[in-house]
Amino acid sequence: MGQRHVIPRTTSDDTAYTSHDLVRMMSDDIAYTSREGTPIESTKPSPCVDRTETMSPRDERRDARTELDRTTDDETRVGFLGSLVPTGLAYRALTCSLEAPDRIVVGRQTPFRFHVRNRLPTSVVLDLPTSRPWGWTIDDLPEAGVGRFDPPEASSQLAFGPRERRTFTGHWDGQVRERANGRDRWSPVPGDRELIVYLAVNDWRERGVYTAQTVRIEHA
């Protein structure tokens, strides 16, 4: 028989959640939100908690591309509970979605939003290899080739509170950075491009904590 994980409730009673309980709650959540396509936020009895974080556009802060402008309180209610959720279950509890335009005009900074929601009634904590919580690529080119500073190699953690949804916002103007003759230049890339956003954990593709969308790049 496999190990039985027990996670204390975040309420004041003395009962506890088992891994089986949490998996069932996620299944119930999926079934509930699938009825008539009703959004989670407008129907779930336990409302999710929204949090928004922004990655600065290239033209605003060229030397601080991974710095996040936090627009809400960053203190997640985690305590010791998050670390008790098994790693595999923690990743399964997260749903990722991307809010991006179908087209981007070259030279026009356009925002896109990466939503990540914790479906569990308890918090989860993810281990990160660096201080960067998320990232994005254009046709597998990280941040469209932006000359960003490298985050410290020291590991960090990313926490999601009970039913919390975090929103990470980035910007792109339909151009990629190229290096030629010792100089950098920004070149437009018209046509269909694949935008991928992900949580910056090890093996993020295998863990499924990413989402993608095709975006058409056009000249004005």
Which segment of 6-10, 160-164, 168-172 scores lowest on mean pLDDT?
A: 6-10
Give one DSSP letter per residue of the chain, joined into a string.
-----EEE-SSSSS-EEEHHHHHHHHHHHHHHHHGGG--HHHH-SSPPEEEEEEEPPTTT-TT-TT-EEE-S------TTTGGGS-HHHHHHTEEEEEE--SEEETTS-EEEEEEEEE-SSS-EEEEESSS--EEEEETTEEGGG--PPPPPSS-EEEEE-TTEEEEEEEEE-SEEEEEETTEEEEEE--EEEEEEEEE-STTHHHHT-EEEEEEEEE--
Supply the pLDDT for residue 85: 86
CATH of domain 47-218: 2.60.40.10
Supply the pLDDT for residue 149: 56
**107 pLDDT higher than 70:** yes
Highest-confidence segment of 3-17, 19-33, 74-88, 201-215: 201-215
Q: Assign 3-class secondary structure to 92-132.
A: HCEEEEEECCCEEECCCCEEEEEEEEECCCCCEEEEECCCC
Domain parsing of the chain, residue ranges = 47-218
Which is more confidently placed, 82 or 114? 114
Number of helical (H) and strand (E) elements in the chain, helices listed first: 4, 16
**73 pLDDT higher than 50:** no
Q: Assign 3-class secondary structure to 128-143.
A: ECCCCCEEEEECCEEH
**200 pLDDT higher than 50:** yes
